[in-house]
Structure 1
Amino acid sequence: MMTLTLQISWLFLLAIPIACIAWTVTHEEVFREPREYCTRRSQEGKSLVERKFFYLFTCEYCFSHYVTILFLCLTGYKLLMDNWAGYLIAGFALV
């Protein structure tokens, strides 16, 4: 188990790439075409599930949740507890 100071340091360090990835995908010019496609599909989709799925790629806050889950899986980072609850706490703290 990491010390609380080390856990907090990791929390702030992991938040930086998560925010950068979420911002880049949802706002920057390099992803404009896929984002416009997703925007169209989120507005014109036939089912609620389809509209919400494609909206995920246009909303920075929504997309950051999924990026956070990916980073938690890749790093194994847990906050305060060394079990599944640590993943849950870390997930909400990073978003």
Structure 2
Amino acid sequence: MSTTIERTFATRRQAELAIEHLVQEHGFERTDIFVAPEGQENSAGEDVGGADRATIAEDERDDAAMESRIVVSIDLEDESMAQTVESVFSEFDGK
């Protein structure tokens, strides 16, 4: 039986780090992981992330849409891996 786990992230960086950990450290297939904005609009998240946070004020950004959180979901065929996914999502502040 298949299980889907879905969490949202405030920044694109958090979402990407969670995905990379799942793929590189835990062997999940990238094709089983899906990424989309939470809302209808294209979005890079709702917060400035990474190195930009220290150098650019959020209200000065105009190069990336800050419309909504980033949704990451993963389809699991092996439900015993759910705890691993939950742990990685939590590590990167997935809600």
TM-score by length of 2: 0.26
| Structure that is richer in strand per residue | 2
Q: More helix by proportion, 1 or 2?
A: 1
Higher RCO, 1 or 2 (CA under 8 Å, sep at least 6)?
2
TM-score using structure 1 length: 0.26
